[in-house]
Amino acid sequence: MKEIKNYDPSENLLKDRVILVTGAGQGLGRAAALAYARHGAIVVLHGRNIGKLERVYDEIEALGKAQALIYPLNLEQAEEKDFLVLSQAITQQLGRLDGILHNAAFLYSLSPIENQTIAQWKTMLQVNLIAPFALTKACLPLLKAAPDASIIMTSNSSGHAPSAYWGGFAVSKAGVEALAKIMTDEWESLSNLRINTLIPGIVNSPQRIKTHPGEIKQTMPQPEDLMNSYLYLMGPDSRDVRGQIIVCQSNE
pLDDT per position in the chain (252 positions), as tens? 566 777 889 999 999 999 999 999 999 999 999 999 999 999 999 999 999 999 999 999 999 877 899 999 999 999 999 999 999 999 999 999 999 999 999 988 888 999 999 999 999 999 999 999 999 999 999 999 999 999 999 998 887 888 888 899 899 999 999 999 999 999 999 999 999 999 997 766 666 655 655 555 666 778 899 999 999 999 999 999 999 999 886 444
Q: pTM of the predicted model, to two decimals?
A: 0.92
Count of domains for the chain: 1
Query: How high is the pLDDT of residue 66?
Result: 77
Domain annotation covers residue 43: yes
Domain annotation covers residue 48: yes
H or E stretch at 122: helix 118-125
**Cα-flanking dihedrals φ and ψ of residue 165, to 5°?**
80, -10
Query: How high is the pLDDT of residue 52?
Result: 96
Domain annotation covers residue 146: yes
Distances (CA, A) of 25 to 50, 57, 66, 164, 242: 8, 9, 18, 30, 28
> Would you say 33 and 65 are in contact if contact means Cβ atoms under 8 Å apart?
no
Q: What is the DSSP secondary structure assignment for residue 83, as one 8-state letter?
A: H
Domain annotation covers residue 152: yes
- DSSP for 14-66 reads TTT-EEEETTTTSHHHHHHHHHHHHTT-EEEEEES-HHHHHHHHHHHHHHTS-
CATH number at residue 79: 3.40.50.720
- Residue 99 pairs in a beta bridge with 19, 150
Domain annotation covers residue 128: yes
Domain annotation covers residue 252: no
Whole-number Å distance between alpha carbons of 147 and 37: 19
196 is in which domain, residue-wise?
Answer: 2-247
